[in-house]
A and B are shown apart, each in its own frame.
Chain A
Amino acid sequence: MSTSAPETGPPAHDAKPEPENLTLHTQSSTLSAWLYLVCLSWQRQARVRHMVWISLALLALTALAVGVQTLSAGWGLEGRPWRSQGRWMGLTYEQALGETYVATSAIAPLGSPGAAGLDDGLLQSAWAVLQRSDFIRFSNSIFRIFVSFLLPLWSLSFGTEALGGDREGHNLLWLLTRPLPRPAIYLAKFVALLPWALALNLGGFALLCVAAGRPGLQALRLFWPAVLCATLAFGALFHLIGAYFRRPAIIALVYGFFLETILGNMPGYLKRLSISFYTRCMMYDAAGTFGVQPESPSVFLPVSGTTALLVLLGAAAALLLLGMYLFNRTEYVAAE
């Protein structure tokens, strides 16, 4: 078999050619491209209209339920009927406390002044708790609906859609073949999802609190930092899941509604692996003086609010950096 002589030019393997100076592209700016990507990604998050409408519908339903409760019976226990069996069955809490006060006042002259003072102090404490019961009950409702469901769900929707949507639609290659560093693409997508996640989480939380009246406004003032930090942490986590897994929404669902629930209810220190634990700790710390606390503090083992804040922000930063690193290393094949 004959072969012809090699063509002109050095063999490729012997010398590495020097990179050519890029004089053709001085008009382009990586920062400009990055900023545009943030803007484009933010706009495209809204293209999944179902997602936006479902989120708003959930918010509206929850706000409606809260508003109806506020306008009808309010959040306090004063006007609620005593539910347990006993002599106060059928009375409201306020009436039951009033009857107790009358009964103790009647027998007070027969006892010592100290005992009468103690009885009075206990009843006044009970009355103070009753007066704060609206905030406590609203807070418990917030934990049940907002922290356990709405916050993770809204964060999941926009967090996984940021990169997962492009992967599902085979559009990621348009970004990967642009002259943008990959970590910058990842960061741009995260920055773009934040307005949506924050608007729904913080804005939605504010709306619910306003709908609840006085206890809601108090809750808003105390709990908004926890909601903000949880949004950042959940957003970073779900964004990472969106970059790494093929079906990120499912993985995020498993984490958000299964692992978080299981870990959050585990005895001991295992619950400290869940984001909602630190969210609750921040909330308990902020509202501790108002009577809001875990059902079993010895089982829940809360950390201080400052620790929880640092953990949430640190987790958000660490997850973001990890995601940038993984996105830079991972190869995305268009056919997947």
Chain B
Amino acid sequence: METANRQQGEAITPPAPPAARKSAICNLQSAIPRPVLLFDRVSKWYGPVLGVNQVTLELRGGITGLVGANGAGKTTLLRLATGQLRPDIGSVSVLGHDAWGQPGKRLVGYCPDVDAFYEEMSGRQFVCAMARLCGYDRAEARRRTEEALALVRMTGRSDRPIGGYSRGMRQRVKMAQALIHDPRLLILDEPLSGIDPVGRQEFVALYRELAARGKCLLVSSHELDELEKLTDHVAVMARGRIAAVGTLTQIRDLLDDQPLSVRMHCDQPRRLAAALMALEDVVGVELGEDGGLVARARNPRKFFQELTALVLEEGHDVRHVETLDDSAEAILGYLLGGRRGS
């Protein structure tokens, strides 16, 4: 597990990990012997600006979220994975094939964030054209087109020119063309941007379905609430580096310098607060006006074990326990220097 040290008030600078722990691995399907997507010490410059800095990342399956502030390097990373850019240092491979080359591109389906199509075409024609450009003959392309459109629920709406589509319809067409050649890896850049809540639920369900079918998805998004519903595994980028990779809980656990905030409601908050202060990992307790209290504690796993023991021993009537900053947004905020947080 790779983590990031964060100095208070300073930018995120991950420590140089030991050689044995250089890889950040999201391993949901450990049966897959090789990574689906591998960034191996990748750096990319845009002139004098360093877009991606020594990124090493492996994806072996499932859904991985890619989060970060604007300008963190997420889109650059995705473009490296889809073969639009080449790394200046390091390599990017998809199931062992160079992402820049033709075999690698066969394995990748890309849903970009740009909103550009062959506007004169209908959705069906566009997806079929993409299938033909993948090398399928006409019959096969048509068959795959219908399958992809059915998967994204656009079968009955694909005959109008794309120029007249809504945002959600355009997103579905993008998704359909990404799926047309049955790729192993799906790269989705801001797939939920501009989509209404109902549409988002449908897309989230679709992504889960695709992951269940064995595809590996890398989803870049600012919609952290939706991303949390979609996956627990995230890679956090900051200033061109991977700041942290893993489940949200794991990342949170490792942020030792950011004590976990836990709100509790009980019958005797003062008594509970006094008892909590005696615990070694509790750094502070704040009493609220509504009869609740907020405890801030390091080492969450140990804290919850001790809290459970304390409650049972002393007979506190705890009615509600809630972690306040276990969300992706809060974690992101801590990792990115407090610019975003609850």
Chain A interface (Cβ < 8 Å from any Cβ of B): 1-9, 11-13, 16-20, 22, 24-25, 27-33, 36-37, 40, 44, 47, 169-171, 173-181, 331-335
Contact = CB atoms under 8 A, between A and B. Distances in A.
B67 interface: no
B60 to A, nearest CB: 7
Contacts of A174: 118, 130, 133, 177
Given A7-B27, A22-B103, A169-B116, 7 more contacts: A3-B254, A11-B19, A19-B96, A174-B130, A331-B84, A333-B85, A334-B114
B82 to A, nearest CB: 5
Contacts of B41: 13
Interface residues of B, number: 61
State the main secondary structure of chain B at its contact with A.
Answer: loop
Nearest to A1: B256
Given A9-B30, A9-B60, A12-B58, A47 B108 contact: no
Contacts of A44: 118
Contacts of A8: 27, 30
Contact of A9 (B21, B58, B85): B58
B328 interface: no
22 contacts: A4-B250, A7-B25, A7-B30, A9-B58, A12-B23, A13-B19, A17-B34, A18-B96, A27-B137, A33-B132, A36-B133, A40-B132, A47-B120, A173-B110, A173-B112, A173-B116, A174-B133, A174-B177, A175-B133, A177-B82, A178-B133, A181-B102
B120 A20 contact: no
A7 B233 CA distance: 14
Contacts of A176: 83-84
B78 to A, nearest CB: 11
A31 B5 CA distance: 51
B3 interface: yes
B241 interface: no
Interface in B131-187: 132-137, 140, 177, 181-182, 184
B56 interface: yes
A7 to B, nearest CB: 4
A178 B95 contact: no
B254 A333 contact: no
